[in-house]
Structure formats: C-alpha cells, structure tokens
Amino acid sequence: MAKYDVFVIADLCIDLLFTGTVRPKYGQAEQLIDDYTVDLGGSAAIFASQFAKLGGNVGFLAKVGNDLFGNILLEKIKSIGISSEHISIDETHKTAAGIGLSDGQDRAMLTYMGTLLSVKPEDIKDEFIKRTKHWHIASYFLLENLWDFWILFLQKLKQQGLTVSLDTNWAPKENWQQVHNILPYIDVFLPNEEEAKLISGEKNVIEAGKWLSDRCNLVVIKCGGDGAMAFQKEKIYKFDIPIHLTENLMIADTTGAGDNFDAGFLHNWLLNKALEECIKLGMECGTRSLSAIGGIEGQIIP
C-alpha cells in the first residue's frame, strides 16, 4: 500500500518577505516598508504544507544547507507535520533563499538558487514510485538539473499507474518551451494565466488553454481575481471566485496563492470529486492565503 498521497521534489528555500507600497530605488535611497516575515518558502513547500493541513500525506524530497536558514526550515517542516525523512543536508551550498516585495496586488521576487542546484536525478529513487499514488511537479524551471531526467521518469510513473500534476511557476531564463516535452505525461496542469500564454505561445487565455489541453488531459488556468478556467476534451469551463471569499478580504500578500490553490484542487481531485468541487476548494485555499504575509500563515485548517 502506498505511504504517500502525493510525492513532490521541493524547491525548498527560506522566504524573506516584505510588504509596502514602494518600488526599490538605487543610489543609496532608503525607503520604508510596512511589514515583513521570514517563513518556509518554495512552491513545493507551500503546496505540501496546505495539502498536509487538509489531511493529506506528502512525500517531500529536498536539500538544505548546513546553516542557520537550513535549521530554520527543518524546524518549520517538522512543526507543520511533513516528514523530513527525505530532506538531506548539503555541505557544499548555502540554503536557497527568496526575497519578495509585495504591494498587496503584485510582487517582485529575487531568488538565490543555492541548494536548489544540488537536487539531482540520483536523489530520486525508484522506490518512491512504489510509495506514492500521485506525483506533483512544482517549480519545474528552477530545478534545472532535472530537465533531462523527467521524460524517462514520467514514463515509469505512467507504467506504474500513477497520475501526475504540474505547476511550472515562472521561468527565470524565459525558456518556456523547455517544458513542452513532458506535457503529454501530465494529467493536471495548473499554470497561471501569464505562464499559460508564454508556454503555449498564444496571446489570450482561451487559445492558450486550448493549445495546452491538446497536450494535457486537464488544464486549469488560475486567473487571479478573475477566478479560474478549466479546459478538457474541447470543453471550456469558467469559474468565478465566490463572493463570500472576497467580502472584507484585506490582501496582505499574494505569495503562494497559486500553490495553495494547487493543494486544494488536487486534494479533492485525488478523491475523485467533481471538477466544480476541486475548483471550489482550490479557490478557498488560494484566496484565504492572501490575508497573511507569505504562503503559509494564511492557510486553511479544516
């Protein structure tokens, strides 16, 4: 029997997040911000945290450095209830770090790759396939050592009957076409609107969704305040965010909203619930996370 509901290779990093209505200025200009937090970061980590809080069991492979940030992350992981069984210490790299500045509606991000560069194909064992039901690929473009690895590994997953989901996140090198070769192996693709257009090469979300759904089984495009759209077998579905989720909502930070959406959506999808129910929980997780700085503190606990 599988031990994990989902297994994920993590882009684990420490998040240093600042909020304020400012834009950085050079020339030694000092500016004031409103607030900050230091928290667990990385798309996979935020996803895994919310999925675990919903009652799911997550297999989580990651690396951290032998440093202060690495120690903080290990403590955070344990406090959430995610197993650290597959988290190892890398003595050659500093722990990955992300710096974010959010004005509530948008954010700028800087990433130090560090230990993300030490996650390699040999770290991913075939035994993980036997221990999980579903594989989620997060931050595809940041884990660049795995780009050539995924094809053969995904073939193994499909041969063993596992389902696979994907959220690429942003491509810092703008090599959007890099991901094209794995799309046929993806059961659920969860990009945001801009990512969907850049990966597909299409100029609007409708055409992007059609292009992607010709290659993936189900495509769910996250459209921020405009809700979400789903594309499957030439059918198009539009979902608005329920009013009760946005009434009196004070947006502190948008970090991790899409990753939390993924967790809610996949939690219900893996329970074979209707598409509408999957979207509903995804929107609840994504929207609730906006109320706090970072991707973790605003997560829902049923």
65-78 residue pLDDT tens: 999 999 999 999 99
Domain containing 47 — which CATH number?
3.40.1190.20
Q: What does the pLDDT read at residue 293? A: 84
Mean pLDDT of all residues in 134-154: 97
The predicted pLDDT at position 1 comes to: 60
Q: What pLDDT shows up at residue 42?
A: 94
Does 105 reside within a domain?
no
Is the predicted pLDDT of residue 140 greater than 90, yes or no?
A: yes
Euclidean distance between CA atoms 31 and 13, whole angstroms: 26
Question: What pLDDT was estimated at residue 204?
Answer: 96
CB 115 within 8 A of CB 61: no
Domain assignment of residue 184, yes or no: yes
Query: Does a structural domain hold residue 141?
Result: yes
Q: What is the DSSP letter of 86?
A: E
In a domain, 259, yes or no: yes
Residue 122, strand partner residues: none
> Per-residue pLDDT tens for 82-129?
989 999 999 999 999 999 898 767 778 899 999 999 999 999 999 999
* Centroid of chain to Cα 173: 18
Residue 211, number of CB atoms within 10 A of its CB? 18
As a whole-number percent, the residues of the chain with pLDDT over 90 amount to: 86
pLDDT tens readout for residues 20-73: 988 888 999 999 999 998 999 999 999 999 999 999 999 999 999 999 999 999
Contact 142/15 with Cβ under 8 angstroms?
Answer: no
Residue 197 has pLDDT above 90, yes or no: yes
- Say if 29 falls within a structural domain: no
Place of tokens 């502190």: 252
Residue 273 is inside which H or E element, if any? Answer: none
State the greatest distance between any 2 C-alpha atoms of the chain, in Å, as a whole number: 60
Is 69 inside any structural domain?
yes
Residue 127's pLDDT is 93
- Provide mean pLDDT across the span 201-213: 97
State how far the Cα of 191 lies from the Cα of 223, in Å rounded to an integer. 9
Q: Which structural domain, as residue segments, surrounds residue 242? A: 6-12+41-95+114-291
The whole-angstrom separation of Cα 20 and Cα 2 is 45
Task: Render pLDDT for 238-267 as a digit per residue (tens, 0 to 9).
Answer: 999 999 999 888 888 888 999 999 999 999
Domain count along the chain: 1
Residue 190 has pLDDT above 80, yes or no: yes
CB atoms within 10 A of CB 126: 9
Q: Could you tell me which residues are beta bridge partners of residue 134?
A: 163
| pTM over the 0.85 mark | yes
What are the DSSP E strand ranges found in 72-197?
86-90, 97-102, 107-112, 134-138, 163-167, 188-189
Q: Is residue 27 part of a domain?
A: no
Distances (CA, A) of 5 to 54, 56, 132: 12, 6, 6
Cα separation, 45 vs 81, in Å, equals 12
Contact call for residues 218 and 232 (beta carbons, < 8 A): yes
Q: Identify whether 300 is part of a domain.
A: no
pLDDT in tens, 145-168: 999 999 999 999 999 999 999 999
